[in-house]
Structure 1
Amino acid sequence: MEGVPRVPPEAAERRRCRIGAAMAVLLVVLPLMLMRVFLGDQADSIDALLRQAHVKQQSPRNASDPEAAPVRTEHEHDRLLGGLLSPDFHDEQACRSRYEASTLWKTSPFSVAPYLVRRLRQYEANHSRCGPRTARYREAAAQLQSGRNAGGADCRYVVWLPMQGLGNRMLSLASTFLYALLTGRVVLVHQPPEMEGLFCEPFPGTSWLLPPDFPYKDGFWSGSKESYVNMLENNVVRYDMVNNASALPAYVYLHLENTRFRFQNHTFCEEDHLLLDKFKWMVLSSDSYFAVALFLMPAYREELDRMFPAKGAVFHQLGRYLFHPGNRAWGMAQRFFAGYLAGANERLGVQVRVGPYQLAFPFEVMSEQILRCTREHGLLPQLTHNTERAAGSVRLANSIAVKAVLVVSLKPEYYDKLHGMYYSNAAASSTGQEVVVSVYQPSHDEDQRTDSRAHNERALAEIYLLSFCDEVVTTGWSTFGYVAHSLAGLRPWVLTPLDWTKMKAENACVRPESVEPCMHSLPSFDCWRSGQDLDPVVHLPFLRHCEDVPAGLQLF
């Protein structure tokens, strides 16, 4: 009819579907509402049924209705770790850990800043634009080969070279990525054979792996002539070149190694970073969590504050974003968790790292310290020395708790000790409830073999298994332990260094205020103002010294 808007047939059909659905819900809800009036003593049950009917009406999305908004569940949001992970990965089977790890981690104690999410998406776009196999990368590589420093802001790079063991590598790579975020560089990772397939690609639609034909990835050390510090000392580069980038060498090498608990001079001063920023290509090698030192530089402070309002979340969030075990390592972790840990009421991780300075300590001394820590803080139930149990008491519902203990160590003796204790004796909680303690150790390779891919895969699987525990006991100074508890977002119980004279620690373990790793090496203070207190903890409220490394620095 004239003046009456025409309704397309498909729209009319959608309208009839909505009316029909509403009528169906009304037929369900109306009797329940009448029942609630007359059955007041069962009101709670009626309310539950009403809520259920409402959810069934609201939650499904009609795939044929383009006007219906997609429903995003809490689980789907958590799969992206609060927005840290990009939604643009489409082949989940190529990297199962990317989304499956979130189902095993405890809820993160830190919210993700929207600004950090925005900066990560910007970085991913820049990496896709400038990464390997792009025209821009080929152009930059050609300029590098020609010996020219092109300068400028378009596609600049930092090449990461691995150093030391897996824990050190993960800490230094996360630090390098943070440096790239701050300076607009693209991270390229040199992957030696022992790291092949260890991690999935973290950026969608591109690769972070350094192309194999890149010429500058071997032979660097603190004394290399390409080292920034040496070039500065030999007058190859000067501070007045900051306005003449074309006069700089084609690339610079930045060496950030823990040497006597110090970084080299001229590595974290603002005037040096103004000059370093003019290099199009940087090669970087480090064994340290130098992310902490970036917070000491006023030029980066504002950006860091916006990305990390909670300073104790830096590695926790960057580590969860960057590091996704490849399917081989993830398969190890997942199978072990499902087979041994998943059914427990509580899970305790115990990580024991016997470093070179601890080799002189007898096993009994370290073992007693672990037991004292777990006993004093109620981490393990007390032995009852009752080897008999009442008939029919095996795993009665609500009568017996199961506590799984995951021992991660290169040595088998610590597992043997704990397993023998709880195998031979019954145990009970402080309330008297019987507790079955099951002790497991995935591997014991005896020695660290960083150049073995199989060893690194086992180590990575065990880092993640530790991060799935409810509580963790870690060894002081251990970067392996730092990574595990930081990924978990757990404040660990840290075994304190032993007193050589007494062969005993005054406190068996302490609990840090932060989940952040410790930076063992102090930055040089050659650029600090004369007369200024050289302890940055005095000046910066988000810094503290570490419990296990008194001179070290930790964000909190």
Structure 2
Amino acid sequence: MDIFQMERSGSSTFVLIGEVAKDNGTGEVAENVTTPSESEDKHPSGTESMVVDKLLGGLLATGFDEESCISRYQATSYRKTSPHKPSAYLVSKLRKYEDLHKRCGPNTESYKRALKKLSSSHINGTTDCNYIVWTPSNGLGNRIISMASSFLYAVLTNRVLLVDHGTDMAGIFCEPFPNTSWLLPMDFPLTNQFYSLQPGNAHSYGHLLKINNMNISTVSQPPSFLHIYLAYNYDKHDKLFFQDQNQGFLQKVPWLILKSDQYFVPYLFLIPSFQQELGKLFPDKETVFHHLVRYLFHPSNQAWGLITRFYRAYLASADQKIGLQVRVFDRKASPVNVVLEQILGCIKKEKLLPQVDEQKPIASPSKNQTLRAITIASLYPEYYERIKSMYWMKPTVNGDVIGVYQPSHEEVQHFGNNIHNMKAWAEISILSLSDILVTSSWSTFGYVAQGLGGLKPWILYVPAGNQPTDQPCPRGMSMEPCFHFPPDYHRVSNTRQRLDTGSLVPHVRQCEDASKGIKLFNAKQL
């Protein structure tokens, strides 16, 4: 597979941090809105007047056992209050989905009846509940953005989302829906087919179209299940999933088994039958992922312990928190010294950190001294070492104190490892607590952090070659992730022509960091 599809994970540094700060991170937060007391758990920034909206404007439901997932209602006290409120329609729709999931989820009578349909090759009539089963592909960042996409598709099509977390994602996230589970039961009868989910699979929707000469109307009876393959290497037949005229047929299929590593939400906004509903759900198109990721993904208590121990040890006393995520997909093509020059050029050009004073060995005393903490997330230690050394060896020109921290540096990405995924999730969450965020182009790891934090990042372009670029890290126009590999061609007079999404809807445009990708923007700000 392409190297840029891979995402990173963490390492053992968190164990040392746990030795430094052994607080278990178990603060209690009162119902809905609370003014935190002097407890460090309740207002880590130490701001007495901070008011915490623990339900995120109604995005989150009540009815959970709070001790089973401390982060669900506590995480908001570690971040600045988001100015982006969910629409009343989205809040209502989520409550209705939760009722559906409770009625149709694992081990319910409706679920058991739906399972029996899988033994039939075709379906006659309708079913009580329809399902979309998400299966994992590639790294944690890819998995999170594709799960969020699958959930939105489930909401739009009145399906129940079940996820196969396997062993390498076990215990990383809390359950997102009250009084039920989104985890696919281990005895699901089609599990043995998940590994064969590839382009051209005999049970795939693309293959069904192919053998019926691209005319789905010739299929007399829908099958009991179909594979939907939407990963980066999907073929032209798989891409026909996004055609509006095919959605009616898919509605008749009780079980869709989906594999994707993409944030395919932007293309849902191009499907006419979904557009009105999406417009009501998300009046501000730039906030789709921000709301989805904060609704669905809450660190488990184990992951939350990693996050809060790091925060209290290194970030809690900082006046400003900067997150820098450096993802290098090819170390040979992007040498360390060139990437470092690009990072330092970014810091200088965008004035993200003060410059060092080359003339003075010690900073002049200042009453208004600012403490800035920069967290560096990277597989490699060299960027951290260089920046840490720069601010240790010389004072800053304005007297600010700079703390530089890196939770881990694994050197290589580990797949299929639960502990590494746990630490990767912790690092994503730590980055999301930043006031200023710099992410690497093409990185889904960074996409998740910016979505959680509600941040428009500065996008670090990692140079491929021996020279840094003139624009090292321009500011992103949107906090939405990029759909890297959309179906971007259509036939006009027997020629292949790029699809101009901006001519269809104003809020779907080309990504800043991927020329063939598309993403959602707030059209009013373009």
- Rg larger in 1 or in 2? 1
Find the aligned partners of 1:132 and 1:359 in 2 and give their Cα distance.
Answer: 47
Find the aligned partners of 2:492 and 2:111 in 1 and give their Cα distance.
Answer: 38
Find the aligned partners of 1:493 and 1:436 in 2 and give their Cα distance.
Answer: 22
Answer with 485-494 or 229-238: which moved more: 229-238
Q: What amino acid does structure 2 have at the position aligned with 1:172?
A: S
Q: By how many angstroms is 1:421 displaced?
A: 0.5
For 1:136-535, list aligned pairs within 5 A.
136-149=110-123, 152=126, 154-217=128-191, 218-219=194-195, 220-235=197-212, 238-240=215-217, 247-259=221-233, 264-356=238-330, 358-385=331-358, 386-389=360-363, 398-428=367-397, 432=398, 434-498=399-463, 500=465, 503-523=467-487, 525-526=489-490, 534-535=499-500
Helix, strand or coil: the match of 1:406?
strand
Gaps of 5+ in 1: 1-69
Q: By how many angstroms is 1:109 displaced?
A: 2.8
Q: By how many angstroms is 1:113 displaced?
A: 0.2
Q: By how many angstroms is 1:451 displaced?
A: 0.9
Find the aligned partners of 1:107 and 1:263 in 2 and give their Cα distance.
Answer: 44
Q: What amino acid does structure 2 have at the position aligned with 1:512?
A: G
Could you tell me whether the CA contact under 8 Å between 1:261 and 1:522 is conserved in 2? no
Q: By how many angstroms is 1:528 displaced?
A: 8.2
Distance 1:262 1:522, change over 3 A: farther
Q: By how many angstroms is 1:92 displaced?
A: 1.0
Distance 1:474 1:334, change over 3 A: same
Could you tell me whether the CA contact under 8 Å between 1:383 and 1:422 is conserved in 2? yes
Distance 1:529 1:404, change over 3 A: farther
Q: What amino acid does structure 2 have at the position aligned with 1:348?
A: I
Q: Report Cα offsets for 1:267-306 as digits up to 9, x if no partner.
A: 2101122211110110000010001110010100000000
Find the aligned partners of 1:129 and 1:547 in 2 and give their Cα distance.
Answer: 42
- Matched-pair identity in %: 43
Could you tell me whether the CA contact under 8 Å between 2:285 and 2:520 is conserved in 1? yes
Distance 1:187 1:257, change over 3 A: same
Find the aligned partners of 2:213 and 2:172 in 1 and give their Cα distance.
Answer: 39
Partner residue, 1:30: none
Residues matched between the structures, number:
472
Q: Which has the higher contact order (CA 8 A, sep 6+)?
A: 2
Helix, strand or coil: the match of 1:437?
strand
Could you tell me whether the CA contact under 8 Å between 1:159 and 1:188 is conserved in 2? yes
Q: What amino acid does structure 1 have at the position aligned with 2:251?
A: D
Distance 1:241 1:154, change over 3 A: farther
Could you tell me whether the CA contact under 8 Å between 2:371 and 2:401 is conserved in 1? yes
Answer with 219-228 or 305-314: which moved more: 219-228
Distance 1:414 1:497, change over 3 A: closer
Q: Report Cα offsets for 1:321-353 as digits up to 9, x if no partner.
A: 000011111110111001100100001100001
Q: By how many angstroms is 1:72 displaced?
A: 5.5
Find the aligned partners of 2:236 and 2:213 in 1 and give their Cα distance.
Answer: 24
Q: Report Cα offsets for 1:7-61 as digits up to 9, x if no partner.
A: xxxxxxxxxxxxxxxxxxxxxxxxxxxxxxxxxxxxxxxxxxxxxxxxxxxxxxx
Distance 1:151 1:353, change over 3 A: farther
Q: What amino acid does structure 1 have at the position aligned with 2:343?
A: I
Using structure 2 for the length normalisation, give the TM-score: 0.85
Q: Does residue 552 of structure 1 match 2:521?
A: no
Could you tell me whether the CA contact under 8 Å between 1:474 and 1:492 is conserved in 2? yes
Q: By how many angstroms is 1:524 displaced?
A: 5.1
Helix, strand or coil: the match of 2:53?
helix
Helix, strand or coil: the match of 1:319?
helix
Distance 1:173 1:529, change over 3 A: farther
Could you tell me whether the CA contact under 8 Å between 1:241 and 1:275 is conserved in 2? no
Partner residue, 2:24: none
- Match for residue 85 of structure 1 among 60, 67, 88: 60
Could you tell me whether the CA contact under 8 Å between 2:456 and 2:479 is conserved in 1? yes
Answer with 314-323 or 215-224: which moved more: 215-224
Find the aligned partners of 1:376 and 1:102 in 2 and give their Cα distance.
Answer: 31
Q: By how many angstroms is 1:439 displaced?
A: 0.2
Find the aligned partners of 2:405 and 2:34 in 1 and give their Cα distance.
Answer: 35
Q: What amino acid does structure 2 have at the position aligned with 1:369?
A: Q
Distance 1:317 1:529, change over 3 A: farther
Distance 1:167 1:513, change over 3 A: same
Q: By how many angstroms is 1:152 displaced?
A: 2.2
Find the aligned partners of 1:549 and 1:534 in 2 and give their Cα distance.
Answer: 15
Moved over 4 A (4+): 70-77, 260-263, 524-533
Q: By how many angstroms is 1:212 displaced?
A: 0.5
Q: What amino acid does structure 2 have at the position aligned with 1:523?
A: P
Find the aligned partners of 1:280 and 1:484 in 2 and give their Cα distance.
Answer: 34
Distance 1:132 1:237, change over 3 A: farther
Gaps of 5+ in 2: 1-30, 36-49, 522-526
Q: Report Cα offsets for 1:247-272 as digits up to 9, x if no partner.
A: 22220000001128988431210112
Could you tell me whether the CA contact under 8 Å between 2:145 and 2:263 is conserved in 1? yes
Q: Report Cα offsets for 1:512-540 as digits up to 9, x if no partner.
A: 21110111112254588989972112221
